[in-house]
Amino acid sequence: MTRNRQFLIQLESFSHETAIAAQYLYAEMAVQHAASKSEKLLSRLNDTPRFWQVHMAATQTAAYVTLGRIFDTNSKYNIDALLNSFEQDLQLFSSEALEKRKSEGSLARPDWLDEYLDRAHYPNSGDIARLRAHVLRHREFYDRAVKPVRHKYLAHRERHEQAEVQELYGRGKVKKMWKTVTFLLALHEALSQQYINGRKPVLKPLRYSVKTMYEKTDDRTGPHETIVKETRRLMERLRGDA
């Protein structure tokens, strides 16, 4: 497999995993937020309590398992493997390689291409180190708050007593989980833009608050934002608003 192909496969896998982690996490949290805002909705959800308990458990478990695939280094496809493939052949992001990508499908060399290539960013070791530092901060959260739940309770029932399980889940705040998931989405976007458009891989902050996304309707299309909007529509129908 060529290095070019290796990076693209890693990037595609990362895109899939980060999107579904966001959807699982935010689907659960959007239902909880909706129920907390409406006694009428909460009453209707309580008409079928087992279904919603299963929904909460399934989405929560899936989110933890997916984050494990992203951060665990035993997998062939994980966040470290992605950055390794990015670093191993920076020639993939050279001016010549970018020129070839931007010229594909053109019968003649575009007039704007020289200026575009002059303005483009070509990644270096400093970019790699900066991205790895970001990953390390979120890996620390994963190792402390997510991995123990995944390994000791969800995948292997090493903890059974309610107090022990609560202690595992209590090692991390929900807000930090949101920030880790949106960081993963931002990292994918940064690497994609570097490859496609030669833009410096800067991590742009994304909205992470369920409350903000739920209460403000707009045209943003991130996977976490889309699932919150769809959950809101469902909750409105269950409540009888639509």
Q: Is residue 152 part of a domain?
A: no
Q: Is residue 52 part of a domain?
A: yes
Least confident of 28-32, 88-92, 134-138: 88-92
Q: Is residue 144 part of a domain?
A: no
Q: Is residue 160 part of a domain?
A: no
Q: Is residue 163 part of a domain?
A: no
Question: Is 1's pLDDT higher than 60?
Answer: no
Q: What is the pLDDT of residue 150?
A: 73
163-194 per-position pLDDT tens digit: 655 665 556 678 888 999 999 999 999 999 99
Q: Residue 238 carries which DSSP code?
A: H
Q: How confident is the model at residue 138 (pLDDT cuts 50, 70, 90)?
A: very high
Give the helix, strand, coil percentages of the chain, each rounded to 5: 75, 0, 25
Ranges of beta strands (E only) in 117-185 are none
Q: Is residue 149 part of a domain?
A: no
What pTM does this model have?
Answer: 0.90
Instruction: Tell which wins on pLDDT, 55 or 108.
Output: 55
Q: What is the pLDDT of residue 161?
A: 53
Least confident of 106-115, 151-160, 185-194, 211-220: 151-160
What are the CB-based long-range contacts (under 8 Å, 24+) for 92-100? 92/3, 92/4, 92/7, 92/195, 93/122, 93/123, 93/194, 93/195, 93/198, 94/122, 95/120, 95/122, 98/122, 98/198
Q: Is residue 156 part of a domain?
A: no
CA 225: distance to chain centroid? 11
Q: Residue 104 carries which DSSP code?
A: T
pLDDT mean over 118-135: 96
Across the chain, mean pLDDT equals 89
Q: What is the dihedral angle through the alpha carbons of 177, 182, 184, 186, rounded to the nearest 10 degrees? A: -160
Number of domains composing the chain: 1
CA–CA gap between residue 159 and residue 145 (Å, rounded): 15
Question: Is 204's pLDDT higher than 90?
Answer: yes
Q: Is residue 14 part of a domain?
A: yes
Q: What is the pLDDT of residue 67?
A: 95
- The domain in which residue 109 lies consists of 3-138+174-239
